[in-house]
Amino acid sequence: MSRPAALVQRVIKAYDVRGLVGEEIDEAFVRDVGASFARLVRDTARQVVIGYDMRASSPTLAGAFAAGVVAQGLDVVRIGLASTDQLYFASGLLNCPGAMFTASHNPAAYNGIKLCRAGAKPVGKDTGLTTISDEVIAGVPDHDGPSGSITDRDVLADYGEFLRSLVDIGGLRPLRVAVDAGNGMAGHTTPAVLGAIPSITLAPLYFELDGTFPNHEANPLDAANLVDLQNHVLDTGADIGLAFDGDADRCFVVDERGQAVSPSAVTALVAARELTREIGATVIHNLITSRAVPELVSERGGTPVRSRVGHSYIKALMAETGAIFGGEHSAHYYFRDFWGADSGMLAALHVLAALGEQDRPLSEMMADYQRYEASGEINFTVTDAPAVIDAVLQSFGSRVHAIDHLDGVTVDLGDGCWFNLRMSNTEPLLRLNVEARTSEEVKALVDEIAGHIPSVAEEFT
C-alpha cells in the first residue's frame, strides 16, 4: 500500500528511522520498511540479523520488520534484546545486514530502526534510506517466490568475549567501577562484558531494563542526567563512573571526584593507546572535538583527519582512510577492529585498561589529555541561521586568524581560541561550540557571540 510522503519523509531521516509509536510508526509501516530493506540488500545477502532494545514496543515492531524481510525471501536471525553495538557485532560476525530497534536516548513514546549492511556498514540517506523511503511511499512490490525462515541466536557472550579480546586487560589493578545504565541496554551488556573481568568490582545503578526511563532520561550528553552517577561514584568510593545512553552505543566517563570527563579527552586517550599498536596510523576526529586531539595524535606519530559531525561521515572516512580509530564530542567512538563501527563499551574497556595499568587516580591520568576548556554544545533557536552566522562573522572582523566551512563555519582566533557555528539538519537550531585555554575566555567568547544571536539558548555540556 502507498503511504503519505510527508509522514514517511518525516520518519525516515538522514541516518535512521525514528518517530512516535502509534502515530508515526506502527507494525504495518515497519513491515513495509523491512520488506524494502530486504529488497535493497538481497543482491548481496541471504539473511538479516535483528535486535531490539528494552522499549515496550520494540519486540512487536521487530517482529513486524522480520515479517517484511521473510516475505521478500530472505532469512532472519533474531538476537533478541541487544545494545546497538551488540547488533553491529552480530552483523560483523555473521557478515550480513542488520536492523536494530531503538530510539536511543529519545523518550519512551518513540521508537526507531538503525540499519546496516553486512559488516556493520551504515545505511544512511545516500546509501539506501532514500530508496526505502521512496518505496514505502509508492508501495513496496510483492516478492514472487518462497518466503524466508526465522531462527534465533544468542550472541551476548560472544560479543563480550570479542570486546575483551581487543583490549589487554590481564594485568589490571583492582578497580571499583560505578555504572549508570539509565534503565537502558547497558544493564544487559555490562555484566556480560565487564562482569567477566576478575579485577573489576561493579557498582551498578539503574540496571533494570525499563523503556519508560523512570529515573532519568537515558541521555548522558545532558549534564543533568549524570548527576545520579556522580553521586553514586562518591557514595561507593568508585575509581571511575561510566554512563551509557539508552541503546548503550555511547559511553560517558566520570572521575573519582565525581567530575565529568570530556569525551574529547577520552578520544585523545584511546587514540594514544591505539597509536602504540600502529605507529603512523590515521585517527578521525570531528571538527568540534578539542584541538588537543589532533595535537596529541600528531605528537604520537599519527595522522589526524578532521571530519564533519555525524556518524555517517566518520564511518565513511574510517573506511576511506583505513583509520584505526575515530572519536566524536558526543561520546561516539569508532574502531577499525570493530568493523569501523562505534562501541561505547569498547571505549570503556580502553579507559579501564589505561586506569588499571598505573596507580594514579583517573582525574590525574586524564589531566594529560585535557589541554583546553570548552563550552559544550549550545543550541540557539533561530529563524534565519545564515543571516545570524554572517552577523557573527562580521562582528569579529580582523580578529579572525583563519576560517573554514567544512561543517558550518569554524573560526580560529589564535592562541588556542576557536568557535564553530553550524545549522542543524533537522531543526531550526544553530549550534555553537567554543574552546579556549581558560574557562574565563570561553565564557567571554560565548557571551560575545550570543549577543549577536536573537534567540533562546539551551546548553548541553
Nearest to 129 by CA among 221, 12, 269: 12
Beta bridge partners of 25: 21
Is there a catalytic annotation at residue 395? no
Query: In terms of C-beta density within 10 A (0-12 exposed, 13-18 middle, 19 or more buried), how is residue 215 classed?
Result: middle
DSSP secondary structure string for all residues of 309-356: SSHHHHHHHHHHHT-SEEE-TTS-EEEGGGTT-B-HHHHHHHHHHHHH
> For helices 156-165 and 84-94, what crossing angle results, to 10°?
90
Q: In what order do the strands lie in the sheet with 251-254?
A: 200-205, 175-180, 240-244, 251-254, 260-261
Nearest to 254 by CA among 262, 355, 105: 262
- CA distances for 32 relative to 15, 28, 44, 56, angstroms: 18, 6, 20, 21
- Out of 57, 104, 264, 307, pick the active-site residue: 104
Catalytic residues: 104
